């Protein structure tokens, strides 16, 4: 079984589901038909997009999602931060690791 790591799991999908999907897709990655290969690649990228949207990186200080553009109030109020007022985003779904676990590289 292939391990896929989501550093922060805040979404509706669990680690086991990432791994199950990766294993299923990897098992079909032996297709010889070009149409089947393209369909499988598209499906794999769709799952990666779905998982990444469900579990985005979050601010280590205030837990805001990556799309947050406002000031980080935790950093403004004196929490440990590299840049006062700025978010420190990390974690979330690891898209590249998922694609590798499915048998694709991250450039597909």
Q: Supply the DSSP symbol for 101.
A: H
Predicted confidence (pLDDT) per residue in 24-34, tens digit: 999 887 778 88
Q: Let me know: does 62 contact 73? Beta carbons within 8 Å.
A: yes
Whether this prediction's pTM lies above 0.75 is answered by no
CA dist 106 → 10, 40, 64, 73 (Å)? 23, 15, 26, 34
Predicted confidence (pLDDT) per residue in 45-75, tens digit: 999 999 998 888 888 778 787 776 677 766 5
Close Cβ partners of 2 (under 8 Å, ≥ 6 residues apart): 19, 22, 23, 26, 101
């Amino acid at each position: 079984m292939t391990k896929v790591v989501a550093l922060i799991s805040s979404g509706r999908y669990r680690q086991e589901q990432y791994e199950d999907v990766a294993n299923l897709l990897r098992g079909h990655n032996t297709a010889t038909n070009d149409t089947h290969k393209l369909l499988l690649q598209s499906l794999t990228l769709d799952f990666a997009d779905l998982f990444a949207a469900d579990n985005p990186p979050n601010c280590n200080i205030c837990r805001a999602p990556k799309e947050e553009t406002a000031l980080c109030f935790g950093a403004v109020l004196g929490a440990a931060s590299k840049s006062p007022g700025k978010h420190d985003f990390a974690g979330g779904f690891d898209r590249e690791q998922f694609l590798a676990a499915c048998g694709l590289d991250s450039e597909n």
